[in-house]
Amino acid sequence: MKKVYTLLLTTFVLSGLSFVMPGLTGHLAAAQEKAWTLQECIGYALDHNLTVQQGALQVQQREIDLNTARSSRLPGVAGSASQNFSFGRGLTENNTYANTNTTNTSFSVGADMTLFNGLRTYNNILLGKLNLEAATADLEKAKDDIRVAVAQAFVQILYNREIAEVAARQVEIDSLQVVRLEALLENGKSTAADVAAQKASLAQGRLTAVQAENNLQLARLDLAQLLELPSPEGFDVALPSDDALALPLPAGPEIIYEEAVGIKPSVRAEETRLASAARNIDLARGGYLPSLSLSGGLGTNYYTSSGYAGKGFFDQLSNNFSQYVGLSLNVPIFSRLSTRNQVRSARVNYEAQQLQLETVKKQLFKEIQQAWYNALSARTKFESSTQAASAATESFALATAKYENGKASITEFNEAKNQYLKARSDLAQARYEYLYQTRLLDFYRGRELTL
C-alpha cells in the first residue's frame, strides 16, 4: 500500500513539472464539441456582434448622406396637372365676366437648379466624405474593441482552466492522503485527529475545486456572450502554442505610442471629425454670400365656359402652350445675426473637437503606458514565479519522501503541498497576464491580435 501510494503521489508531483517546462503543459480535458482558436473567436465575433453590426449600419447611412449631398448638384424636375371647376360668376373666353360655370385644365413641367449658393453644396459634399470616413473609423474602433474584449475573455478562460487543474490536483492529493491515513489508522500508526484534519483539508479542496470550475464556466459564458452564441454548452477554447511566451517585451511606451497614434481608428475618427468641424466653419460662412438659381418650364391649359362655344381640347393645348426660363438672385443683407452666430458656433465646435482629439490621444498613451508597465511587471513576476514553482515542486517532492519515511509530520507535508499548489497558481496568473499584455502592446502597433 505504501509503495503504491508513494508511486501515485510522486507521479502527481512530477507531473507538476510540466507546468514550468515548455512542451509539457498539462490541462484539464473538458468535454467539448469544438476548441475555438483566438482567431476563430475574433472572426465569429466580428461577424455576429451587434455593436459591430450597428457600426456597419452607420457607415451605410453616411454613404447615403454623401450620395444625397452629391445629388443636390443636379437639377430638380417636377410635373403637375390640375383640374378646376368654378360655379357662378366667372371669366369667359372673351375676357368678360358672366354668371356661368367654367372648367380649367392645366399641365406643366418645371425644372430648377442651383448655380451658386455660397459654396454650401461643395462644402456639404466634402463634409459628407469626412463623415463617412469618421463612421468607417468608428466601425474599425468597434471592431478593435471587440478584438481586445475577446482576447481578454479568451485568456481568462485559459487562466481559469489552469486554476481548475490546480484545484483538481489538490483534491487528488488530499484524497490519496485520506486513504493512506485511514489505512494507517487501522494499523494503529495514525490518529483519528490526523484523519479528521486531512478530511477537512479534502473538503476545503473540493470546495475550492467547485469554485474554480464555476469560474471556468462563467469565463466560457462571458466569451460565448461576446460571440453572440446562444449557449456556452459545448464551447471551449484551444490552447496557445508552447512558444507563445517567447515574444519579448516591445520597446518603451513612447515608441509604441508614436506607431499607434498614426494607425489607431479611435484617433483617426477624431482627426476626421476635426476636419469636419473646420469644414462646418466654411459652410456657415456661406450664409454671407449670395445665391443664384436657374429655373425653366413648359405649360399649357384647356378652358371651357358653359353657354359659350370654345375651341377644342387639343387646339387649346396647342394655342396655350408656353415656355419660361428665369434666373433668381438672393443677396443676404441682414439675417438677424443668425449667420454670424452660426459661424461663431462652428468655431466653438472646432475648438471643442481639438480638445476631444487631444483627450483621445492622451487616453491612448495612458492605455499603452499602463499595458507596457503591466507587461513589464508580469514578465518579472513570470520569471520569478517560474523559479518559485520549480523550487516548490522539488520541495514538495522532498517533503513527500520525508513524510513517507516518517521524518516529517502531516502538517509539514500539507504546508509543502499548499506552497506547491500556490506556486502553480501564481505562475498561471503571471503567465497569462504576460501573454495578454505583450500581445496587447503588439496590437497597439497595428499587428494582428494572436496567441
What is the per-residue pLDDT across 176-221, written as a single tens digit (0 to 9) for each?
888 988 888 888 877 888 888 889 989 999 999 999 999 999 999 9
Exposure class string for 240-261: b at 16+ Cβ within 10 A, else e: beeebbeeeebeebeebbebbb
Residue 286: Cβ within 10 Å count: 21
Q: Rounded to two decimals, what is the model's pTM?
A: 0.82
Confidence band (pLDDT; 50, 70, 90) for 91? low
Domain 2-72+118-289+332-444: give its CATH architecture: Up-down Bundle (1.20)
pLDDT band at 89 (very low <50, low <70, confident <90, very high): confident
> Which residues in the chain are classed under CATH 2.20.200?
76-117+295-331
Rounded Cα distance between 190 and 183, Å, is 8
* Angle at CA of residue 291, ends 289 and 296, nearest 5°: 175
Asked if 120 contacts 293 with a C-beta cutoff of 8 angstroms, the reply is no
- What pLDDT digit, counting tens, does each position of 141-151 carry? 999 999 999 99
Task: Identify the H or E element spanning 246.
Answer: none
Provide CB contacts within 8 A for 162, sequence distance 6+: 19, 27, 424, 425, 428, 431, 432
Binned at pLDDT 50, 70 and 90, residue 93 comes out as: low
User: Which percentage of the chain shows pLDDT scores above 70?
Assistant: 89
Q: Which of 7-16, 289-298, 327-336, 392-401 has the lowest mean pLDDT?
A: 7-16
Q: Is 60 exceeded by the pLDDT of residue 398?
A: yes
Above 60 in pLDDT, residue 375?
A: yes
Residue among 297, 441, 262, 361 nearest 450 (CA): 441
Buried b / exposed e along 55-67 (16+ C-beta atoms within 10 A): beebbeebeebbe
With a pLDDT cut of 90, the percent of the chain lying above it is 59
Over residues 338-342, mean pLDDT: 95
Task: Tell me what the pLDDT averaged over the chain comes to.
Answer: 87
Residue type, 263: I
Lowest mean pLDDT among 53-62, 166-175, 279-288: 166-175
What pLDDT is recorded for position 184?
A: 82
- The more confidently predicted of residues 135 and 5 is 135
User: What residue ranges of the chain are covered by domains with CATH 1.20.1600.10?
Assistant: 2-72+118-289+332-444
pLDDT attached to residue 268: 96
CA distance 111 to 101: 33
Return the CATH number of the domain spanning residue range 76-117+295-331: 2.20.200
Q: What is the spatial distance between Cα 322 and Cα 172, in angstroms, rounded to a whole number?
A: 101
346 alpha-carbon distance from chain centroid = 30
Phi, psi of 326 (to 5 degrees): -155, 160
Provide the pLDDT confidence category of residue 27 given band limits of 50, 70 and 90: very low
> Does residue 384 have a pLDDT over 80?
yes
Q: Is the pLDDT reported for residue 348 higher than 60?
A: yes
Q: For residue 377, how far is the Cα from the chain centroid?
A: 27
Phi, psi for 49 (deg, rounded to 5): -65, 135
Report pLDDT for 1: 45
pLDDT at 297 over 50: yes
Q: How many CA atoms lie within 13 A of 266 on its CB side?
A: 19
* R_g over Cα of the chain: 40
